[in-house]
Structure 1
Amino acid sequence: MNVFVVGANGQIGQHLVHLLAIHPEHHVKAMVRTEEQLEKLKKSGIEGVVANLEGTVDELVEAAKGCDAIVFTAGSGGSTGHDKTLLVDLDGAVKTLEAAEKLGVERFVMVSAIQAHHRENWSEAIKPYFVAKHYADRFVEASSLNYSIIRPGGLTNESGTGQITVAENLTRNTIPREDVASTIVQVLTDRHTYRRSFDLVSGDQSIEEAIKSL
């Protein structure tokens, strides 16, 4: 599968690009924002393209050409304002979705946030982020794409354990970014996860077993 990763220079994105680059059944095309980031990818032998989520849908279409799956794992980051949250986490996600539809790319994986689907469970401290994720997810769910929406808990930089818990509703907990990336790889070709949404935290099942339990 030719996989286009949006947010490839992010913390989850970097793990994901590495896993896809060494996977025998996948080819990765990484979307980054700067020429410097692109050069770093090239030195690692990874195909990349420079594009901006604040650009046009047609620019994203051009960037994603040749791919048959798209993973959206971009985020504006905690140091930016609410304006960037809207422009990247919401509008950027929707524009990526529109680009997928224009290209005829049916497989779409969205990285969201735990309990984004339940307003009453949103953290007040980062409420605009949850609003952006909630409505981006709703656009994905209303599309014709074979989507999977993964809603990870609190993200850590600990080494992945390969042990997770997934369900449509989970209480807040944490998960290493590396395990989120590994879960994305597992989900990509698992038809059982098509048009499904679920929360994801660390747990006691292997990633493969946990996904099958959905």
Structure 2
Amino acid sequence: MTTLVIGANGQIGRQLCALAREAGEPIRAMIREPAQQPWFEERGIETVIADLEGDFTHVFDGCDQVLFTAGSGPHTGPDKTLLIDLYGAIRAVDVAREHGLSRFLMVSAMRAEDPQAAPEKLRPYMAAKFAADAYLRASGLPYVILKPGRLTDEPATERVAASLEETGGTNTVSRGNVAHALLHLVKAGGLVDREFVLLDGQRPIAEVLA
């Protein structure tokens, strides 16, 4: 089962691609430009060049499921948030459905269901995630939505939690733990129409994402 990774060159995407390669999971990394290829080629990871703001329908050919972990990034404005985090995700859902893919794995955000509660500068991002998640749920595609808390660069522990109650209110999760959780979801092909909050914690990933 080949997984298309949209957003493969991001901080989480790269970690996930490396973990998948080590685990022998077939993946195809969607990247925006040839200059990004060497990192993936050195690790034996298949790449395909496409841009979420352009035509990317061809990248789905031969794939069985898709993982969307793309993001406009913290240094762009609301315009890119709309084009990447919202419209890019919606277009990816449409193309995945047209290609008959078996699942769509979406990386969203904790509390995306209440954008107004987010800090002001994060509200456009949260609103985009809210709308993209709703579109995916209504699409008819089998899906899994992962909702990480505030991301950090702490080392991966592979120990996580599913709620603030478990963590005593701490709302952070390392990008490494998100990557390990995504690998688990990629491999768990029978897991569909589920949503999970992900935080750093004390339980094994397989237990939290059961």
Where on the TM-score scale, by shorter chain, does this alignment land: which range? over 0.9
TM-score (norm 2): 0.93
Q: Residue 96 of structure 2: which of 89, 97, 100 is its match? A: 100
* 1:85-164 correspondence to structure 2 within 5 Å: 85-164=81-160
Q: Could you tell me which residue of structure 2 aligns to residue 33 of structure 1?
A: 32
C-alpha deviation, 1:211, in angstroms = 1.4
Query: Contact 1:164–1:201 (CA<8 Å) still a contact in 2?
Result: yes
CA distance in 2, matches of 1:9, 1:169: 33
Q: Could you tell me which residue of structure 2 aligns to residue 188 of structure 1?
A: 186
CA distance in 1, matches of 2:3, 2:79: 29
Q: Residue 179 of structure 1: which of 177, 180, 199 is its match? A: 177
CA distance in 1, matches of 2:150, 2:87: 23
Query: Contact 2:196–2:209 (CA<8 Å) still a contact in 1?
Result: no
CA distance in 2, matches of 1:166, 1:141: 20
Q: Could you tell me which residue of structure 2 aligns to residue 4 of structure 1?
A: 4
> What RMSD, in angstroms, separates the aligned Cα atoms of the two structures?
1.9
CA distance in 1, matches of 2:114, 2:75: 25
In the alignment, structure 1 segments of 5+ residues that lack a partner are none
Residue deviations 1:160-201 (CA, integer Å, cap 9, x gap): 011111259986610110110111111224356411112111
C-alpha deviation, 1:91, in angstroms = 0.4
Q: For residue 117 of structure 1, give the secondary structure of its aligned residue in structure 2.
A: coil
C-alpha deviation, 1:42, in angstroms = 1.9
Q: Could you tell me which residue of structure 1 aligns to residue 47 of structure 2?
A: 48
CA distance in 2, matches of 1:78, 1:45: 30
CA distance in 1, matches of 2:35, 2:187: 32
Residue deviations 1:1-59 (CA, integer Å, cap 9, x gap): 211000000000001100111113x2010000111112332232110011000013xxx
Q: Could you tell me which residue of structure 2 aligns to residue 70 of structure 1?
A: 66
Task: Give the total of aligned pairs.
Answer: 208
Structure 1 residues 192 and 115: alpha-carbon distance in aligned structure 2, compared to 1, 3 A threshold: farther
CA distance in 2, matches of 1:29, 1:133: 24
Structure 1 residues 188 and 168: alpha-carbon distance in aligned structure 2, compared to 1, 3 A threshold: farther
Q: For residue 22 of structure 1, give the secondary structure of its aligned residue in structure 2.
A: helix
Q: For residue 181 of structure 2, give the secondary structure of its aligned residue in structure 1.
A: helix
Structure 1 residues 65 and 169: alpha-carbon distance in aligned structure 2, compared to 1, 3 A threshold: farther
Structure 1 residues 168 and 138: alpha-carbon distance in aligned structure 2, compared to 1, 3 A threshold: farther
Query: Contact 2:133–2:145 (CA<8 Å) still a contact in 1?
Result: yes
In the alignment, structure 2 segments of 5+ residues that lack a partner are none
Structure 1 residues 142 and 168: alpha-carbon distance in aligned structure 2, compared to 1, 3 A threshold: farther
Structure 1 residues 69 and 39: alpha-carbon distance in aligned structure 2, compared to 1, 3 A threshold: same
Identity of aligned residues (%): 39
Q: For residue 209 of structure 2, give the secondary structure of its aligned residue in structure 1.
A: helix
